[in-house]
Amino acid sequence: MIPQRLSPSSRWVTHLPEFARRAFQVDQMELDSALSQMYSLCLKPSLVSKMCRARKMTKNHYHRDDPAFIVLQVLALAITVIAYGLALKGGPFQILYNVLYEIVLNYFITGVILTTITWIFVSRFLINGGYTHGVSREVDWHYSFDIHCNGYFPYFMWTKVVQFLLLPFLLQTSFFACLTSNSLYMIGSMLYGYVVFLGYLELPMLTQQQKLMYPVAAIVLCMLLITLFTSWNLTQWTLSDTWRS
């Protein structure tokens, strides 16, 4: 049998880690499972957290080994940015720049930073000193990134998708527009924190996971004060910063 020649792009893909390599192989990804998880995150996020427990029992690790969830999130983020660009009459290069900015900086780099900060906090302060069951008491960073991605999806739905649907109203200068806009970000922040809390709640070596909700309470309190005593509209502020004319 004559071996098939690999194209330069195919040879490049083969050098990637297995997780990243599967992102270029649509037939190898479990897209239906990822869509089901996204649906559950909107209605009953505890179901997604419990899936990691089953994954630990069957595959001996908590984190996803399939990139479909991240691929769909990136695709949804790109489509949403394009929709905002068309609605706000952004130019093609501006739209392309913002797509790359949202995906590379806001999704991946910010996600890695938030994941690492949370992972360090959990590993140093929430490990149960009396836990002896099992071999390892270490928190897997990959699972921490999974938890962040889970929490990001409902945040994305409220601060990107719902915001886009209400955009004509939110761009008004009334108090109710400001209240609605800031409420979307408050709801998104609360859901992010709650989903992250649920994710770490599944790890038996941890204790006092409720401490992960404290920053969320502080953020919500600050946003309530800002909404009541200022005219700061988060929708107008983020869009004016992103889509400068």
More reliable by pLDDT, 197 or 242: 197
User: How would residue 88 be classed by pLDDT, with cut points 50, 70 and 90?
Assistant: very high
Distance CA 90, CA 95 (A): 6
**For the ranges 12-26, 38-52, 57-71, 73-87, the one whose mean pLDDT is highest:** 73-87
Report yes or no on 146 lying in a domain. Answer: yes
Exposure class string for 89-111: b at 16+ Cβ within 10 A, else e: ebeeebbeebbeebbeeebeeeb
Q: Quote the pLDDT of residue 1.
A: 44
Q: Quote the pLDDT of residue 53.
A: 81
Phi, psi of 206 (to 5 degrees): -105, 160
Q: Quote the pLDDT of residue 7.
A: 54
pTM above 0.85, yes or no: yes
All residues at 6 or more sequence positions from 20 whose CB lies less than 8 Å from its CB, including other chains: 67
45 and 154 Cβ atoms separated by less than 8 Å: yes
Overall domain count for the chain: 1
Report yes or no on 161 lying in a domain. Answer: yes
- Give tens-digit pLDDT for 185-210: 999 999 999 999 999 999 988 999 99
Residue 102 CA: distances (Å) to CA of 154, 181, 189, 190:
16, 20, 18, 21
Does pLDDT of 61 surpass 90?
A: no
- Give tens-digit pLDDT for 121-153: 999 999 987 655 554 578 899 999 999 999 999
Distance CA 110, CA 145 (A): 11
Q: Quote the pLDDT of residue 97.
A: 96
Q: Quote the pLDDT of residue 57.
A: 81
All residues at 6 or more sequence positions from 218 whose CB lies less than 8 Å from its CB, including other chains: none
5-26 mean pLDDT = 59
More reliable by pLDDT, 26 or 105: 105
Domain membership of residue 198 as a residue range: 25-242
* Tokens, residue 191: 């859901």
Q: At what angle do helices 141-156 and 68-87 cross, to 10 degrees?
A: 30
211-233 mean pLDDT = 91
The CA-based diameter of the chain, rounded to the nearest angstrom, is 75
Strands (E), 182-237: none
Distance CA 67, CA 164 (A): 27
More reliable by pLDDT, 82 or 231: 82
* Tokens, residue 60: 């001996």
- Give tens-digit pLDDT for 93-120: 999 999 999 999 999 999 999 999 999 9
Around 81, how many Cα atoms within 13 Å sit in the side-chain half-sphere? 25
Report yes or no on 13 lying in a domain. Answer: no
Report yes or no on 14 lying in a domain. Answer: no
